[in-house]
Amino acid sequence: MVMVASVRVVSDWLIAAEPAQLLPARSQMAFTLMFHIILVPMGVALPALMLIANYKGLKRNDPVALTLARRWSHAAGLTFAVGAVSGTVLSFEMGLLWPGLTEKYGDVFGLPFAIEGIAFFLEAILVAIYIYGWRRLKGWTHFWLGLPIPFVALVGAFSIISANAWMNTPAGFTVGPNGEPTNIDPIAAIFNKALPLELAHFVVAAYMAAGFTVASIYVVGWLRGRRDRYHRLGILIPFTVAAIATPVQFAVGDSIARWLANNQPAKFLAMEVVTQSGADQPEIIFGRYDAETNTVSGGVRIPGLNSFLTGGSRDTYVQGLEAVPPENRPSNVNIVHTAFDIMVGIATLLVGLVAWFAIAYWRRRDVPRSKLFLWVAASAGVLTYVAIEAGWIVTEVGRQPWIVYNIERTSDTVTQADGVWVSFIVVLVLYTGLGIATVTVLRAMSRRWKRQDTRDEAAPYGPRPAPEPEAPEPEVDAAGRAGP
């Protein structure tokens, strides 16, 4: 059954993938984006985690917190460097794979890319100064020089999310008689209607992903019996940040779903797989949508829940997919719906995990002892990244067939050049190697830290290795001769 369903999904995509370059172009863009987005939360949120540990270490003269801060900064430097490479490739792909978009609308939404470039270089400089400064700067001077990093990272996230939000809610121009944009207002394009919720949704997700991922590393050590203060702080600092972000994310996600129902109904209907218009709509969890009959088979149905979540009442009227012309529906409703259910399911699980953590910590002021909690917490980082990937699938596939919502179709902007499959394969091989190299270096760093290697401990204000005992000076008699 799974194989048959997979074949049908691929066949649906192939049928929709005209012209011939559309499928490989979308595949390459999807792969590079899904790779890059693994690194983005570390670039956005990991600097905040390292600065929290740094502040705690300075404020309380805590060498363990300073050790964590320094090591997290090294990991942040590596992931930032790899993310810079993959992000640059994405920028080139925008022009090479979708020349119809950048040529026609570049003047409208191109400013955020310039802002992102400035933020990238500034963040690179600040990260380099922070890492370099561990050995050469006084404690508080070093901390204050690092403090701008999370805010500069937010500027970079803001610019890219602004460009993506513009594609969902285009603004800042009017369509002229010849179909070309006129009366261009780049500021209005940047601050489009989708920006506030989309930015909040992604930034909070980044803090969840970074917090749960970093904490999960130390949870694994905790499960293996390493119950020292180093692992305790390594769990509590990032997990607390993620725990604060999780309920916020749940509320933001609910707001976005309601917003989509009014502003991007086709995407909302694909997410919720609502087929027929009416009130008292059920919430369908998973299931299989058939585009030919506009029906859903299988899945779990919760009566009235979709209408209630949309408008606060089971009597809320919800439009169905039958009201959307087939050519304007998302290119694959099943992918959008399944990804949405995965994202919401993981978010619900993490809310329960956070509630467990909050109650246990309130009672004991320590890491919860339950093995079940620890096993789920050890998986939380991976689960959060799965949710992020699913969320981007909902955002991008759900907007299809439009690259600029309700204005420009994706198929009309794709490159006409041959060889896109070749470039996709080359990118696939190169990124696989880059991913393996990144994981290898991170594991090498981890092994060195496990060996308590002190070569990177010589910070002016951080923990230092114990001094070697000095050999006693030989006794000298009155004649200046060394004694025994």
Which are the contacts of 30, defined by CB distance < 8 A and separation ≥ 6?
396
Q: Over the chain, what is the mean pLDDT?
A: 86
Q: Is the pLDDT of residue 479 over 90?
A: no
**Mind listing the pLDDT tens digit for each residue in 399-419?**
999 999 999 999 999 999 888
pLDDT of residue 442: 86
pLDDT of residue 155: 93
* DSSP line for 106-130: HHHH-HHHHHHHHHHHHHHHHHHHH
**Mind listing the pLDDT tens digit for each residue in 87-107?**
888 888 888 999 999 899 988
Q: Is the pLDDT of residue 55 over 60?
A: yes
**Mind listing the pLDDT tens digit for each residue in 428-449?**
999 999 999 998 988 888 888 7
pLDDT of residue 461: 57
User: Cα separation of 388 and 41, whole Å?
Assistant: 10
Q: Once rounded to an integer, what is the mean pLDDT over residues 160-186? A: 90
Residue 141, Cα to own-chain centre: how many angstroms? 31
Give pTM, 2 decimals.
0.87
DSSP run (H or E) holding 174 = strand 174-175
User: Cα separation of 276 and 320, whole Å?
Assistant: 4
Bridge partners of 300, per DSSP, are 285
Q: Is the pLDDT of residue 453 over 70?
A: no
pLDDT of residue 225: 86
**Mind listing the pLDDT tens digit for each residue in 309-360?**
888 888 888 888 888 888 888 878 999 999 999 999 999 999 999 999 999 8
Q: Is the pLDDT of residue 248 over 50?
A: yes
**Mind listing the pLDDT tens digit for each residue in 255-280?**
998 899 889 999 999 999 988 888 88
User: Cα separation of 2 and 293, whole Å?
Assistant: 21
Annotate 253-285 with b (16+ C-beta within 10 A) or e (fewer).
beebbbbbbebbbbbbbbbbbbbeeeebbbbbb
Q: Is the pLDDT of residue 39 over 50?
A: yes
